[in-house]
Amino acid sequence: MPRSAIAGRYVDLTLDGGTACVYYEESGSGRPVLCLHTAGADSRQWRHLLSDDAFAERFRFIAFDLPFHGRSDPIGEWWTKQYRLTAAAYVAWILATIEALRLDRPLVLGCSMGAAIVLRLAARHPDRVGGVIGLGATAHTSRRYHSLLDHPGIDTSMLAATYTLGLCAPQSPLRNARENMWLYLQGAPGVYAGDIAFFDGDWDERSALHSIDPTRTPIAIVTGEYDYAATPEMAREAAAQLSEAYLEIVPELGHFPMIENYPRLRPALARALDHVSRSA
């Protein structure tokens, strides 16, 4: 499927603090899969998936830009305060998108901070999601934020872009890793830092994972062996607390598998989609 077949649209969300016009792209038909991008990036990270003909026969993939990201609007009088993402706001934005697009218990596929939040969705909102996949999912992490990410004397977009370039596996094609870097170079000042602060804020799902009913909300975790931000060890720790979770550590992949090396990710993603599609 050529990228020209991907349809882009806007939808208005009503949120605490104001409204936001949110951009999303979609392709395929069948069961909806809502795709969550990584910190400081946008939905363009999912274009390789949205261009996959074989998957498009079974799934309707929807990838949206969070408020403040990519082509979506910020919320309220954004210029009056520093942007900081909280777990509560993140969940609210996702649920508002599900409601606005009239999705009936979609599968949710997230990477990095998107992989973290899908665990909270499964634990606390099983009535709203049918299953979740986390690419690099961890139940808890800390010390991600650094003050240099907000330093006025530093090109913070370049700092984020070069850092994320280093999070790709050495085997990933350079063009693809640079494609991801290009997205980070376009992030608004303070957004990447505000997203990273989410990890050091109120996000911690370790005590909630045991409450997830795998027959109602199946979970899959797929992690690259070269991911040093959400390591294979962290993935195994999270999976060990989850009943019947599918776990796969994929060789020669880093932190951004869906964009840095989609062909390498695809077989594992197919198995994960099969696993979480068991829910009604």
Each residue's pLDDT, cut to its tens digit, for the chain (280 residues) gives 677 789 999 999 988 878 899 999 999 999 999 999 999 999 999 999 999 999 999 999 999 999 999 999 999 889 999 999 999 999 999 999 999 999 999 999 999 999 999 999 999 999 999 999 999 998 877 666 677 777 777 777 888 899 999 999 999 999 999 999 999 999 999 999 999 888 877 777 788 888 899 889 999 999 999 999 999 999 999 999 998 999 999 999 999 999 999 999 999 999 999 999 986 5
- CA distance to 111, 123, 248, per residue, from 96 (Å): 19, 18, 30
pLDDT at site 19:
86
Q: How many CA atoms lie within 13 A of 98 on its CB side?
A: 22
pLDDT at site 267:
98
pLDDT at site 143:
66
pLDDT at site 279:
63
CA neighbor of 19 nearest in space, from 72, 62, 81: 72
Q: Provide the residue type at 12 as one letter.
A: D
pLDDT at site 141:
75
**Total domains, the chain:** 1
pLDDT at site 5:
82
pLDDT at site 152:
77
Q: Provide the residue type at 85 as one letter.
A: L
- Integer-rounded Cα Rg, in Å, for the chain is 17
Query: Using CA atoms, how far apart are residues 56 and 243, in angstroms rounded to an integer?
Result: 29
Query: Using CA atoms, how far apart are residues 179 and 24, in angstroms rounded to an integer?
Result: 19
Place of tokens 């957004």: 191
* The model's pTM: 0.95
CATH code assigned at 114: 3.40.50.1820
pLDDT at site 1:
64
Show the domain range for 41. Answer: 3-276
In sign, the C-alpha dihedral spanning 211, 213, 217, 221 is positive
